[in-house]
Amino acid sequence: MRGMAVGRFDGMRALVSGGARGIGASTAALLAAEGAQVVMTDVLDDEGRAHAASIGAEYAHLDVADPGAWRAIGDGQRFDLAVLNAGIGARFEDLLDVPDDVITSVLATNATSLLVATREVARCMAGEGGSISVTASIAGLVAHTQSPIYGASKWAAIGWVRSIAPWLEPRGIRINAVCPGLVDTPILGPGGGDRMRAMGLAVLDPSEVAEAHAEVLRSPVTGAAFTVQAGRPVAAFEFAPVPGYQG
């Protein structure tokens, strides 16, 4: 029991997308444990409902790639916090064999969804403001040659966060990106984190990314991309200025 303990998010309402498993499940659990009333969403309804029940959250079905579903979930709701986290991977052997639906579904889930979600969540924060944290990736900060379509979607995510932040600031809404390295979740595929560790790669636990989301949600900054890497402190990435840019 928390008793009289003061949670970091006492009294706040939080939306977490992709909350059924992995980073989203950990983040929803942390926010709930820290006093937030959490609405967690996913397309994996059985896992989502079971997890929500175990952490005292509400569950709702929400396909993030469906703009109508975002309008419905936001209708008449008030949110103080949102973690836009749902995402999918995309690997290919040969670019010339990549089907259209892989390209469109990865962009729709990881990138376009954020534009719609930010708009709808901002409506739900109108008046009192709020804080949005997006699960992007280190893949959005480097040339991600292992999975270029995924990399492009995460560059879009970070570009969106940086570009929309000044529009949201006068409304008292902050938006930032959390950019993890490898995290031990089902998105890594069969063998998951163990296979990566066997290759000598450092792998984060989802709880470490959840804690990064919590810190970033409370941070006074906006429009930043925070790297989260094993054995390193969470840090705002320093983007180099573009010589001659007049924007």
Ligand X SMILES: NC(=O)c1ccc[n+]([C@@H]2O[C@H](COP(=O)([O-])OP(=O)(O)OC[C@H]3O[C@@H](n4cnc5c(N)ncnc54)[C@H](O)[C@@H]3O)[C@@H](O)[C@H]2O)c1
Shortest distance (Å) from residue 241 CB to ligand X: 26
Shortest distance (Å) from residue 34 CB to ligand X: 19
How far apart are the C-alpha atoms of 117 and 84, rounded to whole Å?
8
How far apart are the C-alpha atoms of 168 and 100, rounded to whole Å?
33
Active-site entry in 9, 150, 155, 160: 150
* 24 makes contact with ligand X (CB under 6 A): yes
Options 1-9, 56-64, 124-132, 233-241: segment touching ligand X (CB under 6 A): 56-64
Contact pattern for ligand X over residues 153 through 192, marking x by CB under 6 A: ---------------------------x-xx-xxxx----
Using the rule CB under 6 A, which residue among 37, 118, 137, 222 binds ligand X? 137
Helix boundaries (H) for 75-205: 100-107, 113-125, 148-168, 192-198
Which DSSP state fits 65? T
Shortest distance (Å) from residue 80 CB to ligand X: 21
Number of residues that bind ligand X (CB under 6 A): 28
* 151 makes contact with ligand X (CB under 6 A): no
Options 42-50, 92-100, 114-122, 214-222: segment touching ligand X (CB under 6 A): 42-50
Which run of H or E residues covers position 72? helix 67-74
* 114 makes contact with ligand X (CB under 6 A): no
CA nearest to 173, candidates 247, 238, 223: 223
Q: How far is CA 82 from CA 31, 37, 188, 218, 240, in A?
A: 10, 11, 24, 12, 28
Under rule CB under 6 A, which residues in 73-102 are in contact with ligand X?
Answer: 85-88
> Cα dihedral angle (209, 37, 168, 156), rounded to 10 degrees?
40
SS3 24: helix
Shortest distance (Å) from residue 107 CB to ligand X: 12
CA nearest to 154, candidates 135, 174, 167, 131: 135
Which DSSP state fits 126? T
Whether residue 245 lies in the annotated active site: no
Options 14-22, 73-81, 141-149, 215-223: segment touching ligand X (CB under 6 A): 14-22
**Residue 169 or 205 with smaller CB distance to ligand X:** 205
Per CB under 6 A, residues contacting ligand X are 17-18, 20-24, 42-44, 62-65, 85-88, 109, 135, 137, 180, 182-183, 185-188
Catalytic residue IDs: 150
